[in-house]
Amino acid sequence: MTIAAPKASKTLQVLLVDDNPIQLSLLHHLFQRHGHTTLEAKNGAEALIVLATECPDVVVSDCVMPLLDGYQLCRLLKDDRATRNLPVLLLTAQGVGLARFWAKTCGADRFLVKGRDLDHVVEAATSLVEQTDRLRPLPGTPRLAQENFGVDAIQRRLAQALEQRVVETALRDSISRLYTVEHDTLRLIRGFIEILQELVLPGALLVTYLGEEGTTCHGVHGASASEEDRRALEAAALQFAPPGVPAECHWHPVDDGDERRRALRDPVMRVLPALLPGYPAVGALGFFAERRSVEEYERLFEIANEELGRLLTLEDSRLRLYHQAIRDPLTGLFNRRHILDMLKIEVDQCGRFGQSLSLMLIDLDHFKAVNDRFGHATGDQVLSVMAQRMSFGLRKVDQLGRIGGEEFLAYGPQTDLDGLRALAERLREHVTLEPLPGLPPNYRVTLSIGLATWEGSEDTLERMLARADKALYQAKAEGRNRVIG
């Protein structure tokens, strides 16, 4: 009884490349048995001739062949804009040594070791086409098809392809090393721009980072990019930013050299979202440059954008983890450990430079009654709103943190006790001006505040906190809703 081969869900045109006629015939009949059509070439050079007039769905090539082997063929195809998206499946009889390494470095989409049963080759080729089906071939004719297919032309293209890989590797390495040196968002962006601007200028280059605390937008421009060009690039790049989030772009002119300071004859603007697969966009790369340069260095721009996505995603993850480590999740204020660490640094500064420093311990009066009467969900909402009001009531130089339950700590650098007392009184009045969500309109939550100030070189953080705690206890004992210190 003969079992028919499964019918293909989609008929593919497959370019088979192999110098072994028996192997080539086996693959031909195998793909035909699965309902596919084939084109055939005996080596990589013949395959290039076929690709000059045909547009197959996938290339299945042997690795070791005369004149132009499978690795070299793949490298040429992936280096050519017209064939870059064409999936390539490389086959080898030996799965040891450097075969897998070369297959990966030349850009092959899949690498298989030939076995007795070649059905897995059809399955792998079909899977590759399905994965890349949405990547349609780019317009244009392969570059080698525009030349003669002699040895000299092929060798020249191979040399260019190898040089391109060296440049791509150097670009990736230069960008990746930024993160091992800098852990500051703006410095990372500036370092990335310094690397990339050699490709872009004359024109303009802009990088945006969409962080939790707003959008960072930094750009450089040459003499040939007008203000109108820069504004258009800004508008396009900020389309990736969340609506309603203010963003200001900072532009810096750079010297593009006499040989590069010319008018853009055929300008083109590109804006690419910076992201890693599986992650939301964390920024964007935008540039304004000569069309010919953009097309010539297209792959380098793609790599730069991939690396920027990786760079900004790592930075975004670092910042998120850092904020989680130092922030109270309910109120968004500094947590106990971080506010005390910051305060310890301020006390040390006082000892070194003789500066003044005062702090306040703040307690929400009768907060347990809010939880008991209105529920813990309302209590959490009240805590969050009160924390926000206290933040707005302090100065920019002051720092505020939640150190437990309904207790907060704030300090004022270079502020004496009288100055902090006046600030605390304003804060106590400020938080009661408006009703609180979830509570009756006439219900107010008041503050009891204990103060302490740095008393000289013999003073310590522990002693200051003890004095502030004693003053807070006194404020509660005297009826709450007051400042003592």
Q: For residue 406, indicate whether it is catalytic.
A: yes
| Residue (of 83, 8, 12, 69) closest to 41 by Cα position | 69
Residues 328/401, Cβ–Cβ less than 8 Å: yes
- Amino acid sitting at position 113: V
What is the greatest pairwise CA distance in the chain? Answer: 101
First to last CA, the chain: 99
The DSSP-derived string for 254-303 is ----TTT----SSEEEEEEEE--TTS---EEEEEEEEHHHHHHTHHHHHH
Long-range contacts of 294-300 (CB under 8 A, 24+ apart): 294/268, 294/270, 295/81, 297/199, 298/81, 299/79, 299/84, 299/164, 299/168, 300/167, 300/168, 300/171, 300/199
Active-site position among 406, 407, 455, 462? 406
Helix (H) or strand (E) holding 414: none
Q: Residue 341 has which token pair?
A: 């660490």
Helices vs strands, H then E, count in the chain = 15, 15
Cis omega (within 30 of 0) for bond into 202? yes
- Amino acid sitting at position 466: A
Residues 275/313, Cβ–Cβ less than 8 Å: yes
Question: What's phi and psi for 79, nearest 5 deg?
Answer: -85, -15
Sign of CA pseudo-dihedral 321, 393, 355, 343 = negative
Nearby residues of 172 by Cβ (< 8 Å), 6 or more positions away: 303, 307
DSSP 8-state code for residue 138: P
Cα 142 to chain centroid, rounded:
33
Helix (H) or strand (E) holding 231: helix 227-237
What CA–CA distance (Å, rounded) separates 393 from 276?
40
Q: Which residues are known to be catalytic?
A: 406
